[in-house]
Amino acid sequence: METFLIRALQLVASLSILIVIHEFGHFLFAKLSGTRVERFYLFFNPGFSLMRCKKINGKLEFDFLSKNEPEHWKNEPENTVWGLGWLPLGGYCSISGMVDETQSLDDLAAEPQPWEFRTKKPFPRLMIMAGGVLFNFILALLLYGMILNIWGKSYLPVQNVPLGMEFSQPAHQVGFQDGDILLSADDMTIVQFNDESFRAIVEASQVKVLRAGDTVSIAIPDNFMQQLMAAKQGFASYRFPAVIKQVMPRTPAAKVGLLPGDSLVAIQNIPTQTFMDFATTIKQFKDSTVSIDYYRQGVASQAIVTLDSTATLGFAAMMPMELYKTEDIAYTFWQSIPAGVKLAWSKLSGYSSDMKYVFTKEGAQSLGGFGAIAQMFPTKWDWRVFWETTAFLSVVLAFMNVLPIPGLDGGHILFLLVEVISGRKPSDKFLEKAQTIGMILLFALLIYANGNDIIRWLFK
């Protein structure tokens, strides 16, 4: 329950930041063009609002837990109502004279007014619609720059991991073997194993690895990514020994005196070279008393351990980044700015490249909703991971919103570009129908993605 709450809190906090920044982009360009913004809401408010406020006679007035706005607020329509809804599925910026998810054609005044969106020239309207996407991408640039300036960058070179990689079943089937050290994907030298090198591997025709001192070439099939998604096992991870980082109280490990730094090398005389070997082997000895061979400061020792039905020894292992030499890069403030831009652009180009897999059977099945997003956050609050995840989600939100789908900013931008090119503005009736169709499609996608989360949770 604690893990769920921590992840849920991080999810809500991150999405709240992204929603406010996105909608503020629309708000700012609307105000710059002289267009009224009727409402600015974090979260949706069907039925009632948790809170709303508006400047009346030069002073802010607040209204709590009410269905409708106070009647006298209508006397100052030029001022924006700022609100907090109760349904945390997004937010909105209701712009006067615009057909969107907040208002239909019937809500518009009979005669177009000079402060309305629909009376503005194409370029101001284009900037209003692009403002959300633009601000989300700017946020990603700033966050990545901040992260690099404060924490720098650390990565683990593949050459510094002598045990190589541990591969999934689909990777084994195409020719990879546990212990292989990745060298190159076509013409790209693999320095570290990250999103960029993974994309290069799955899209390569040949991948070279170092195996037992020899260079081996592995042919990559065209549908390798689909194979990986279908198996739901990933591609590979670093191989590393089972070295204790922390011993949990009142567990078998604590009872026999195992300590941080102990390197576990065998169970019941069965060698366990890696942590995965150890984790797999120990499961064979549920409700048993077994011997555990380990090294402490270079000295071989043995402990006799009684395991219960879970076969859990009770320790947290040191991760590869803690065991092997990493490359650490520090950035000054001025260095972090171009580095943050480069990192944000790399995330955007990588994510847009991955979108082609969504249109495959395996990709559609892997779509996730809020549950999948929550899994991106750690089980303990970590500010660096929180901001890294928020920056990435900001990139995702910017990309998704620019797609030319009615109901998204990209749909409005598409119709504006058609107007500029053709010289003819689509009718409000057409825009209303397009908005309705788009919202139906988006809600169907939302239900499908979150349905996948539920199915994965039920059958995990």
Domains observed in the chain:
158-238 (2.30.42), 242-318 (2.30.42.10)
Q: Specify the pLDDT at position 361.
A: 72
- Secondary structure of residue 231 in the 3-state scheme: helix
Work out the average pLDDT over 411-431.
81
205-254 residue pLDDT tens: 999 999 999 999 999 999 999 999 888 888 999 999 999 999 999 999 99
21 to 90, 396, 398: CA distances (angstroms) = 12, 14, 11
Confidence of residue 8 (pLDDT cuts 50, 70, 90): confident
Counting residues of the chain whose pLDDT is more than 90, the rounded percentage is 66
pLDDT at 107: 62
- Mean pLDDT, the chain, integer: 89
Q: Give per-residue pLDDT as tens, 313-333.
A: 999 999 999 999 999 999 999
Query: How high is the pLDDT of residue 98?
Result: 82
Nearest to 371 by CA among 2, 19, 7: 7
- Residue whose tokens read 């495959």: 360
Mean pLDDT lowest for which of 55-64, 266-275, 407-416? 407-416
Higher local confidence (pLDDT), 273 or 430: 273
Q: Please say if the pLDDT value at position 89 is more than 90.
A: no
Reduce the DSSP state of residue 424 to 3 states and report it.
coil
Q: What pLDDT is recorded for position 459?
A: 66
Instruction: Indicate the pLDDT class of residue 423, thresholds 50, 70 and 90.
Output: confident
Q: Which residues pair with 363 in a beta bridge?
A: none
Residue with tokens 């320095």: 191
Angle at 177 (CA atoms; ends 176, 182), nearest 5 degrees: 65
Residue type, 309: S
pLDDT digits (tens, 9 = 90+) for 250-269: 999 999 999 999 999 999 99
